[in-house]
Structure 1
């Protein structure tokens, strides 16, 4: 087995590129600083005094406290009318502004590592065109799996913030309720027949149980299967519910930005059509796994005037994966519009406040404007992390399921567990060489045993369901958010 083959070379080259170019080039920084995003600046205390005609209080201005031998000036606080007429100044987002934002290191790592993983995968796919991978480890799948893990970890860290603060009771309750709701939905989905929803879990369980029983029998252990179907589906439902809770507020945020953009581009029909298309694409991905309205319609039904269906089964499988990639690229292209719609919230907050009566402190007024830009990286993570999960789930589904970008299904070759003759070693009496050869043999046999248990059908079932569930959650959470926005905007 060529452990030091092309896969490891590609990985080492990419690691070297990360070390050399990482500090100088960042896709995450380019998205925020080179796409024309405009942020709003909060007015200074002097500007607020002039607009609100508030006299300067010299006593409060000179008030200070002496602690540890240092004079510490307290923040100047005064009240202004809520309907004060203030024109907010704007500034272009630059790199010096974003490095201090909350969750910027996590956002930069997620986006940049996703780019590097995509490059590793593309290079690996191009390499396989001329030199198909047989006995090498496809390390690009490890990169893709790490991207999914990082996405879940960052979303989990964002969700945990709602459970730490005592002021986030509503957000905490929303996460819990939506988590249990998606847990119930996943339980209903997992009992749907494969003729309706073709995620491949039944075939995956049958293949896994059969191959695992054979593996245990070879080890001298008598077993008809390692796990019960009910237990496996229960843990899968728990994972689905947890993922639904993590994607609840990202979906609400995306729906809010989409709603604002529809109002902003009210007079531009082409842009509205593009926005609605990008919003509806996840729904099309969801129904692509519903067999009666997708596969049967495109690969079985013969329309009048035709002698064969529109697509072959292999072409249909490829079309689903291509649709996932197209959806990701489209949403990535229009992402600056969404981010600008979020930054415009500072302006809309001031305009809405002008309709209110009463007074507000200058500090609270400035915080209300500054907080929008302060959480820009959090909003960007909420926009990108679900998309990245859907994309890399689809990529792993394509590769580990042995599908082809050309629509040609590659039948997995039958591999023997035996290694054959070990490589010749100079000096038969060398204990070190014998130890190396023995370790390589043991590792190869263990890997072959693992491959015999986790077959193509198992990977198709796991990542097929994972891909479909991520697309379903993306569309479900954003749809709930859009209904929420439409209800409260009308009320």
Structure 2
């Protein structure tokens, strides 16, 4: 507690509450089981037989013994089938795929947001520049856990027997690799990530740290080209992870817009939400965003509409607002996905021939069973952008208010705490034991403080600015690529 103070207490309290309250009160479970989402129940064989105009076949034990397996029941595809709607409840959630992963990640993101808001209020009241920002650590963990969840979903596609999903992930991975290599060679005058200065500062600090540790002849055996190749490989991996979330986002967007055809305001918000990654991309294009607002043309003269410091704060607010907009429209996208069951039935009615009753039941049930997968594919990209932006703000020494920004630099080393001198004599064995325990605790705190000071002297705000700015921009770029391809696929290729 002496190392991180009240932040550590709040962090441990949040983790304890999340663990204790998850079985009883879960935001993730409430999101899909609050009664606002409606699923479609699959028809029974008796209902299908009644719609087909025939009686339910009854097979005796003798028939099963003579014929072996029973012949599947088939019905005409053009039967007048209408699926029954029912609200999604907590019992229905028991059959959902990846429900535990979904619940844990969503709840963790909610508590991470709470811890971050507390640390922001704490830093605005108390001068805690020498403390470790626990809220930033929660944000970074949320980003890592989100990537792990997407990796779990992608590994499910790779284990698929068909192999089509595997090919899609690999194709988007190679496409992302090509785009990333093109982006990384663009000069900072056009894409203002700050990667060049950030990694240069990191390598300089590493060399200084190595010399302080006694390694005078040690140097960084990494070139600028190697760093960019590693970043391109990471970008390729992220692009493969975001392939299916973007494709699914395009499909649910089209269906949600069609579902709300009589509500123009909701349609406008849906279009704004879909185009929000494009806005994120533009915010880091320097000639279009920063330079234009700093030197806006007004006739023959130029006017400064927004200063450079104000633009940094405004960019953070815009990204957070766009993420909140996407989160607010989650229900419309999820309901649009659940409506695929009725949409598939309507498409089946237009076809000729017969279909097995079990195939109808499986198709309708499968759509609902993958509801949490679709929810993760919708929310995780939003979490990546949101928490990368929050980490950028906290670790990059940005400010929500213009003019209060700090200049990114190397964090000064912390002063090591020293133990208070102990007067000899007059101590019994219990006092000596307590004294030894206090000395051990103080020594541990001193070592941890020294380790954090060394880490902060190497990983400076200048490095975090470049890294998290690029991560935020790249996640948005992957969403734009995959979602636009999804629009083209569902709007044109599927219609032909």
Q: Same-fold call, TM > 0.5? A: yes
| Matched residue SS, 1:291 | coil
Is the aligned partner of 1:207 residue 2:201? yes
Is the aligned partner of 1:365 residue 2:360? yes
* Residues 167-203 of structure 1 deviation map (CA, whole Å, 9 limit, x = unaligned): 2x21111110110000110011111100010111001
Equivalent-residue separation in structure 2 for 1:62 and 1:38 (angstroms): 42
CA contact (8 A) 1:213 1:226 kept: no
Is the aligned partner of 1:162 residue 2:157? yes
Aligned to 2:491: 486
Deviation at 1:100, TM superposition (A): 2.2
Deviation at 1:116, TM superposition (A): 0.4
* CA RMSD of superposed structures (Å): 2.4
Aligned to 1:419: 415
Aligned to 1:68: none
Cα pair distance change 1:472/1:418, threshold 3 Å: closer
Is the aligned partner of 1:345 residue 2:350? no
Q: 1:284 aligns with which of 260, 279, 283?
A: 279
Aligned to 2:58: 58
Aligned to 1:69: none
Q: 2:124 aligns with which of 123, 129, 133?
A: 129
Cα pair distance change 1:415/1:489, threshold 3 Å: closer
Aligned to 1:181: 175
Aligned to 2:9: 9
Q: How does 1:359-438 map to 2 (within 5 A)?
A: 359-407=354-402, 408-411=404-407, 416-417=412-413, 419=415, 422-426=418-422, 433-438=438-443
Cα pair distance change 1:226/1:138, threshold 3 Å: farther
Aligned to 1:469: 474
Cα pair distance change 1:415/1:327, threshold 3 Å: closer
Is the aligned partner of 1:442 residue 2:447? yes
Q: 1:198 aligns with which of 186, 192, 203?
A: 192
Cα pair distance change 1:413/1:59, threshold 3 Å: closer
| Structure 1: gaps spanning 5 or more residues | 66-72
Aligned to 1:334: 329
Deviation at 1:237, TM superposition (A): 0.8
Cα pair distance change 1:58/1:181, threshold 3 Å: same
Q: 2:210 aligns with which of 212, 216, 224?
A: 216
Aligned to 1:70: none
Is the aligned partner of 1:296 residue 2:301? no
* Residues 446-491 of structure 1 deviation map (CA, whole Å, 9 limit, x = unaligned): 2222111111111111111111111111222111111111212442
Deviation at 1:343, TM superposition (A): 0.6
Using the size of structure 1 for normalisation, the TM-score is: 0.92
| Matched residue SS, 1:40 | strand
Is the aligned partner of 1:18 residue 2:18? yes
Aligned to 2:351: 356
Q: 1:240 aligns with which of 220, 223, 235?
A: 235
Is the aligned partner of 1:454 residue 2:459? yes
Deviation at 1:234, TM superposition (A): 1.0
Deviation at 1:114, TM superposition (A): 0.4
Equivalent-residue separation in structure 2 for 1:450 and 1:351 (angstroms): 60
* Residues 218-257 of structure 1 deviation map (CA, whole Å, 9 limit, x = unaligned): 2222234352211111111111101101110111111001
CA contact (8 A) 2:410 2:457 kept: no
Equivalent-residue separation in structure 1 for 2:463 and 2:142 (angstroms): 21
Aligned residues: 483
Equivalent-residue separation in structure 1 for 2:238 and 2:62 (angstroms): 53
Aligned to 1:227: 222
Equivalent-residue separation in structure 2 for 1:237 and 1:178 (angstroms): 13
Cα pair distance change 1:420/1:281, threshold 3 Å: closer
* Residues 302-336 of structure 1 deviation map (CA, whole Å, 9 limit, x = unaligned): 63599851111111111111111111111111111
Equivalent-residue separation in structure 1 for 2:60 and 2:411 (angstroms): 82
Equivalent-residue separation in structure 1 for 2:151 and 2:79 (angstroms): 40
* Residues 134-189 of structure 1 deviation map (CA, whole Å, 9 limit, x = unaligned): 2221111221122111111111111111211222x211111101100001100111
Equivalent-residue separation in structure 2 for 1:425 and 1:482 (angstroms): 71
Is the aligned partner of 1:151 residue 2:146? yes
Deviation at 1:75, TM superposition (A): 8.0
